[in-house]
């Protein structure tokens, strides 16, 4: 595992600079690179580049990313120079870049499918199946989320303002399903039926909440991409008449909004 240093710049539209020693490398989501200094060479690979072995192993790693809706490929940035070099990765929309040292959270982080931005080379990008039927159907992320494993730095993106909370054993948060960014595997993720049809139909909050129960750390976002997209669509001339308020049948939203709140 490469031990990289980093620095985050910006307030609402952030980017992260990753500093690489000679021979070190970082892996970035396809299209996330902002700039890189001379001496850094990039190589597009199947999966996350952490797979050892032959072609089958690499195809398997890439296939996992396809299941999460991500590109089959990532780009690995190698420092081939004689001194420290920097490569930067930009957030895709307004929000915060969240640095997570995987060793400090037990080596594994479960996150929403499009949250990953970049990581030190050696971090494994896999899939986390949701075994609970309700979570898969109504959790907003489907049955598959992304699993980051390793003992180095990984960077994920949260829309809007970030909330970090460490839940005590048994402590529970009820969250809009689209606002979940990431959580430790020790956190129990379940879905709760709101039970109030009037609120679901006219309040715009959907029929289900995500229940996050401790112990463990959770990361929440105030602006899911789906919510931002809905607002832009509603404000555009093409979107006029499609929906005034999220999740409200009066606004004419889709059935998915009713179930998931944002997705």
Q: For residues 258 and 127, which has the higher predicted lDDT (pLDDT)?
A: 127
pLDDT at residue 13 in the model: 92
Which pTM was predicted?
0.77
Predicted pLDDT of residue 204: 57
Q: Which residues pair with 164 in a beta bridge?
A: 219
Report CA-CA distances (Å) from 20 to 25, 31, 262.
Answer: 6, 20, 38
Average pLDDT, integer, range 53-80: 67
The pLDDT, as a whole number, for residue 253 is 47
**How far is the C-alpha of 30 from the C-alpha of 221, rounded, in Å?**
22
What is the pLDDT, as a whole number, of residue 236? 77
User: What confidence tens digit (pLDDT) does each residue in 36-61 have?
Assistant: 999 999 988 766 666 555 555 555 55
Q: Which residue has the tokens 């030190």?
A: 120
For residue 143, the model assigns a pLDDT of 52
Distances 172 to 142, 192, 208, 213, 222 between C-alpha atoms, Å = 21, 12, 15, 4, 18
Q: 212-250, pLDDT tens digit by residue?
A: 999 999 999 999 888 888 888 888 765 555 544 444 444
Please give the Cα distance from 263 to 249 (Å, whole number). 15
Q: What is the H or E stretch that residue 55 is in?
A: helix 55-67
Q: Find the mean pLDDT for residues 115-138.
A: 75
| Residue in the block written with tokens 């129990």 | 188
pLDDT score of 164: 95
The more confident residue out of 97 and 236 is: 97
Chain segment 151-200, per-residue pLDDT in tens: 999 999 999 999 999 999 999 999 888 899 999 999 998 877 766 666 65
Residue 85 pLDDT > 90, yes or no?
A: yes
Indicate the burial class of 3 (C-beta count within 10 angstroms; 0-12, 13-18, 19 or more).
exposed
- Predicted pLDDT of residue 112: 87
Sign of the CA dihedral running 211, 162, 50, 43: positive
Contact indicator for 12, 93 with CB cutoff of 8 Å: no
Tokens of 68: 């999460």
Round to whole Å and give the CA distance between 27 and 44.
9
Place of tokens 């479960």: 110
pLDDT bin (cut points 50, 70, 90) of residue 3 is confident
* Cα torsion angle, 114, 116, 121, 125, sign: negative
Q: For the chain, what percent of residues have pLDDT higher than 70?
A: 68
Structure tokens at 57: 């192993």
Q: Which of 9-18, 95-104, 139-148, 159-168 has the lowest mean pLDDT?
A: 139-148
- Does pLDDT of 70 surpass 70? no
Q: Which backbone phi and psi does 257 adopt, to 5 degrees? A: -65, -40
Here the tokens at position 85 are 């070099």
Helix (H/G/I), strand (E/B), else coil: 136 = helix
Q: By mean pLDDT, which of 123-127, 128-132, 216-220, 227-231 is the weakest?
A: 128-132
């Amino acid at each position: 595992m490469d031990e990289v240093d980093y620095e985050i710049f910006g307030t609402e539209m952030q980017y992260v600079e990753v500093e690489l020693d000679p021979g070190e490398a970082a892996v970035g989501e396809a299209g996330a690179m902002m700039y890189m200094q001379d001496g850094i060479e990039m190589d597009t690979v199947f999966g996350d580049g952490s797979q050892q072995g032959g072609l089958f192993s690499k195809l398997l790693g890439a296939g996992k990313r396809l299941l999460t809706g991500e590109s089959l490929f990532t780009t690995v940035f190698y420092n081939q120079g004689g001194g420290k070099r920097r490569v930067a990765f930009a957030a895709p929309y307004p929000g915060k870049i969240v640095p997570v040292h995987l060793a400090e959270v037990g080596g594994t982080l479960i996150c929403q499918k499009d949250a990953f931005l970049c990581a030190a080379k050696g971090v494994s990008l896999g899939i986390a199946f949701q075994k609970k039927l309700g979570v898969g159907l109504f959790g907003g992320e489907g049955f598959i989320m992304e699993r980051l494993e390793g003992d180095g730095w990984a960077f994920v993106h949260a829309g809007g303002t970030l909330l970090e909370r460490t839940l005590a054993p048994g402590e529970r948060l009820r969250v809009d399903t689209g606002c979940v960014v990431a959580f430790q595997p020790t956190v129990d993720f379940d879905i709760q039926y709101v039970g109030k049809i009037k609120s679901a139909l006219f309040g715009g909050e959907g029929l289900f909440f995500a229940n996050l129960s401790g112990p463990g750390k959770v990361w929440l976002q105030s602006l899911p991409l789906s919510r931002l997209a809905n607002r832009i669509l509603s404000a555009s001339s093409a979107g006029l008449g499609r929906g005034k308020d999220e999740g409200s049948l009066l606004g004419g939203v889709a059935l998915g909004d009713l179930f998931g709140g944002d997705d």
